[in-house]
Structure 1
Amino acid sequence: MKFINIIGTTGSGKSTFAQKIAKERQIHYIELDDLLWLDDWKESPNDALFLKLKIAMENAATGWIIDGLYTRTIPMIMEKVDTVIWLDYPFHINLYRLSERTFGRVISRKKLWENSNNRESLKLMLSKESIFIWLIKSYPKNRKKYFDLMQNPAYQHIQFIRLTSPKQAAEFLQKIKSI
């Protein structure tokens, strides 16, 4: 496990989990959302996103862990990754974690990513672009996408690890500490 990708639906805890593994394995942490989002909730164009991701991966030649996976980044990440860890939690766990995280960020007004000015807001939370609507729409789609990814013959060289509960994730982190 030298080049790792953490996947899962919003609210699953990808960032926290990836940061813990990065610290334990002493590898570079790459937050895909930080590479994607520009100020004022504008997305980086594909060319810019791919370049930022390429540079981040090349600058971490001794090992990296990427938090997140966008459909457009699949070919680039799957070409280099050796391990994919899927946080496949039940919907209610993702919803609970997302609620806790989002309400906390609305109150704190903390900037979400280093390279943009984006913050959670009550207005955004209650809009058509709400992260909660995104979770409801994307949860079943992402599960299908990740199952398909695991079954894809082109990616059979990759070790896929599917964790279906926070307890399994905690046990996995404990195993990493003993390696």
Structure 2
Amino acid sequence: MDAPRRINVVGTSGSGKSTFARRLAHQLGQPYVEMDALFWRPGWQESDDPSFFARLQRALAQPGWVLDGNYQRTAAMKWRDVQMIVWIDYSLIRTLYQAISRALRRSFSGEELWPGTGNRESFRRSFLSRDSILLWTLKNFRSNRRRYVEAFADPRLAHIQRVRLRSPAAVETFLLSLH
């Protein structure tokens, strides 16, 4: 079987989906599309849905891609032509560890998250704010997991290959299997 050409990598924030999706896109020679880069505008401003959906639609018009991101309200659009959904589903403890490590690294490095936006994580934003991605991860971990369990069991998605990876070892095995 040929490797799929249209893949959506999903998982809660901090799960490692972006790192995995970039690796997968590189390995398959497909464009990497990051939904957060399509959504976030300069100064941490959110895109309105029509603008966001238009950018997403343009990105998905390519013949192949590895799409990184959840954004439940885009499911019909992104899963219309998807061939595979890969769910990075690590434990809450592992996910939090990774999210905290990432937040600390980004806070101290000052790296821009999406080119041209000027958006950077700060210690204050990551750890001491209501907008904290860590707080968001804690509040949404269970509901995200429940949503993907339901989606993976949904018979309307039976035509889509679904892969659930629950550990870093499973990620590595999956990537090796594509060679």
TM-score by length of 1: 0.95
Query: 1:3: which partner in 2?
Result: 6
SS of 2:67's equivalent in the other structure is strand
Query: 1:14: which partner in 2?
Result: 17
SS of 1:69's equivalent in the other structure is coil
- Which amino acid in the other structure matches residue 163 of structure 1? L
* Contact kept in structure 1, 2:60 and 2:78, CA below 8 Å: no
Residue 80 of structure 1, CA deviation: 1.2
SS of 1:80's equivalent in the other structure is coil
Correspondence 1:5-154 to 2 at 5 A? 5-58=8-61, 60-61=62-63, 63-125=64-126, 126-154=128-156
Q: How many residue pairs are counted as aligned between the two chains?
A: 175
SS of 2:59's equivalent in the other structure is helix
Identity of aligned residues (%): 38
The unaligned stretches of length 5 or more in structure 1 are none
* Contact kept in structure 2, 1:90 and 1:164, CA below 8 Å: yes
TM-score by length of 2: 0.95
Matches of 1:171 and 1:116, distance apart in 2: 35
Per-residue deviation, residues 145-164 of structure 1 (Å, max 9, x unmatched): 11111122221111100011
* Contact kept in structure 1, 2:103 and 2:123, CA below 8 Å: no
Two-structure CA RMSD over aligned residues (Å): 0.9
The unaligned stretches of length 5 or more in structure 2 are none
* Contact kept in structure 2, 1:34 and 1:115, CA below 8 Å: no
SS of 1:48's equivalent in the other structure is helix
Moved more, 111-120 or 17-26: 111-120
